[in-house]
């Protein structure tokens, strides 16, 4: 059963809210009447840090990879606002394109620490409050949860893990009256995408192998509105652009065909060989 929520008067915590999608989501929730706390390792330039006005978010410094940090952040938000209704586990990183052979174990560990363990740490810290107030949990997956991730396999794996987390959590919390929403976005025009894709001709060429209709990029504001709408409408799945919905629905069939096409396409294989040469060139983008 879906659970709709009016945002007016609610208290939300958003990780990775200093910039990009997190900052846009904070602004959207504030505009709809929520109080918002953002948790990040860096303070956003536009915030005063301690202003209780609902027209800007309240900032809490914290690292999602640190369990104690997230517990302290939730405690601080509860003390500030009197409770917590919505947790949005948004913090995440992408990696510069490379094959599995060319990717260092250290880079993979750091990516999973943020993209997977960070989501788990955030939600687990917030769950007692969210359950008590019959609130909402939002996790940010990606179309790469079901799209072939060649050239960025660890990132795709991390987003598939987040998808499974959101789906399982929805079932586990159904009897608690908690709404769980999994967001799937493709390319959002943020610093992270600009660094990991726009500055990398090989990554751009790999994406160009997809059907053109699937390469539409959206703004952070569009994604933020989709998240807010999903909470208010009680949507278990939030997907933008919407054209990805049939791809997700037909993934069992389309994935087989796409995998075979990519494995047999000489141009794609040439790009993979280029990515194989990137050993020692790890770079994460936030």
pLDDT, tens digit, 9 for 90 and up, residues 86-142 = 999 999 998 888 999 999 999 999 999 999 999 999 999 999 999 999 999 999 999
What share of the chain in percent tops pLDDT 90?
Answer: 72
| Mean pLDDT value of segment 231-253 | 94
Structure tokens at 75: 């405690």
Average pLDDT, the chain: 90
Q: Of 27-31, 88-92, 160-164, 190-194, give the lowest mean pLDDT range.
A: 190-194
pLDDT confidence bin for 189, thresholds 50/70/90: confident
With vertex at residue 231, the alpha carbon angle to CA 228 and CA 232, rounded to the nearest 5 degrees, is 85
3-state secondary structure of 66: coil
Residue spans per domain, the chain: 11-280
pLDDT at 64 over 80: yes
pLDDT, tens digit, 9 for 90 and up, residues 142-188 = 999 999 889 999 999 999 999 999 999 999 999 999 999 999 998 88
pLDDT confidence bin for 258, thresholds 50/70/90: confident
**Which H or E run contains 183?**
strand 179-185
CATH number for the 11-280 domain, one of 3.30.2130.10, 3.50.50.60, 3.90.550.10, 3.40.50.720? 3.40.50.720
Structure tokens at 124: 């687990």
How much is the pLDDT for 1?
A: 46
pTM reported for the whole predicted model: 0.91
Q: Say which of 81, 144, 155, 185 is annotated catalytic.
A: 155
155 annotated active-site: yes
d(CA 110, CA 113): 5
pLDDT at 283 over 70: yes
How much is the pLDDT for 53?
A: 47
pLDDT, tens digit, 9 for 90 and up, residues 206-232 = 777 776 666 788 999 999 999 999 999
Higher-pLDDT residue of 193, 273: 273
pLDDT confidence bin for 3, thresholds 50/70/90: low
Residues 6+ apart with CB under 8 A from 246: none
């Amino acid at each position: 059963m879906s659970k709709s929520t009016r945002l007016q008067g609610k208290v939300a915590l958003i990780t990775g809210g200093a910039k990009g999608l997190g900052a846009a989501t904070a602004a959207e929730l504030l505009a709809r009447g929520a109080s918002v706390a953002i948790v990040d390792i860096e303070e956003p330039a536009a915030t005063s840090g301690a202003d209780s006005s609902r027209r800007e978010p309240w900032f809490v410094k914290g690292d999602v990879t640190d369990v104690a940090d997230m517990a302290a952040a939730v405690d601080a938000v509860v003390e500030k606002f009197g409770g917590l209704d919505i947790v949005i586990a948004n913090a995440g990183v992408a990696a510069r394109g490379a094959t599995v052979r060319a990717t260092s174990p250290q880079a993979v560990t750091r990516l999973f620490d943020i993209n997977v363990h960070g989501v788990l740490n955030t939600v687990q810290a917030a769950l007692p409050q969210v359950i008590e107030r019959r609130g909402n949990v939002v996790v940010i997956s990606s179309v790469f949860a079901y799209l072939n991730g060649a050239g960025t396999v660890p990132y795709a794996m991390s987003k598939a893990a987040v998808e499974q987390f959101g789906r399982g959590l929805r079932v586990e919390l159904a009897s608690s009256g908690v709404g769980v929403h999994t967001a799937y976005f493709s390319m959002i025009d943020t610093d992270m995408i600009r660094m990991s894709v726009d500055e990398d001709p090989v990554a751009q060429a790999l994406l160009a192998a997809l059907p053109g209709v699937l390469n539409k990029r959206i703004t952070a504001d569009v994604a933020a509105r989709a998240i807010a709408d999903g909470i208010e409408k009680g949507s278990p799945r939030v997907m933008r652009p919407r054209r990805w919905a049939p791809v997700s629905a037909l993934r069992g069939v389309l994935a087989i065909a796409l995998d075979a096409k990519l494995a047999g396409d000489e141009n794609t294989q040439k790009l993979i060989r280029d990515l194989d040469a990137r050993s020692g060139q790890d770079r994460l983008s936030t």
